[in-house]
Amino acid sequence: MKIEDAMVLAAGLGTRLRPITDTMPKPLVPIAGKPMIDYGLDALAAAGITRAVVNVHHFAEQMRAHLARRAVPEILLSDETDRLMNSGGGLARGLKLLGRGPVMVMNADLFWIGEKAGETTNLQRLADRFDPDAMDMLMLCVRLEDTTGHNGKIDFSLDDAGRLTRYREGFGTPVVYAGALVLMPGLLDDAPDDAFNLNIYFDRAIEKGRLHGMLLDGHWITVGTPEAVGAAEAVIASFGEAAA
């Protein structure tokens, strides 16, 4: 499925990353010389995304200045400086700035390396596999052994048909949510105007058998603490390539 719109969730306070985030927003923290959010935006651009909403709150002016320098994708800002809306509320508000076509959603504090040059990228595969007739959401997932910086928690079990349920030991393939998914904006038409966690919609989709997952190719990195910065840069160096 062709997807041209995206939403990047970037408004969090990054409290666990203090003192680094005492002077800058978490998405702008440089990893191997590149702000975290640019890894995700570059991956979206490579997957054909032409327009992306980014929500801002913490050090919003720094975010505005940085994002204004990007040409692709076109950036639309969803301003949460008045109050944080959490993952679900932020997404619901941001979707109002886009059309009714499929949307790719990404967190701003993660990325991956190890995609093979010349092959279909993870986000392109996600777009190609998304089927709104059968799915409410299609998530990019990763095996725990293919992560760096993660806290070790398993999120879901992935069955042979590609459906996800909350993690149950001994059932399916245990996976971590890799922070990227595809959905149709209409899914959140009934969303409240207040802040809420997107996990509500994950659980609704599970109940209907409509939460699906796809395994990531490569190695996934998330940066939540100051110590995780060094770990991320070490694994990037070990792969001998720039992150995607």
Assigned CATH class of 5-239 = alpha beta
pTM, rounded to two decimals: 0.92
Give the dihedral sign, CA 219/181/134/205: positive
Distance CA 132, CA 110 (A): 25
Q: Is the pLDDT of residue 244 over 70?
A: no
Q: Is the pLDDT of residue 57 over 80?
A: yes
Distance CA 168, CA 153 (A): 12
Categorize the per-residue pLDDT at 241 as very low, low, confident or very high, splitting at 50, 70 and 90: low
β-pair type (219-222, 110-113):
antiparallel
Tokens of 126: 């996600």
How do the domains of the chain map onto residue ranges?
5-239
Please give the DSSP secondary-structure letter assigned to residue 132. T
Model pLDDT for residues 95-112, shown as the tens digit of each residue: 999 999 999 999 999 999
58 neighbors 14 (Cβ within 8 angstroms):
yes
Categorize the per-residue pLDDT at 149 as very low, low, confident or very high, splitting at 50, 70 and 90: confident
**Percent of all residues in the chain with a pLDDT value above 90, rounded to a whole number:** 75
Model pLDDT for residues 172-198, shown as the tens digit of each residue: 999 999 999 999 999 999 998 889 999
Residues shown for the chain: 244
Mean pLDDT for 59-63 is: 91
Q: What is the DSSP string of 28-43?
A: G-EETTEEHHHHHHHH
Categorize the per-residue pLDDT at 145 as very low, low, confident or very high, splitting at 50, 70 and 90: very high
Tokens of 80: 């949460």
CB atoms near residue 176 (< 10 Å):
22
Q: Is the pLDDT of residue 156 over 80?
A: yes
Q: Is the pLDDT of residue 80 over 90?
A: no
CB atoms near residue 238 (< 10 Å):
11
Averaged confidence pLDDT in the chain: 92
49 neighbors 42 (Cβ within 8 angstroms):
no
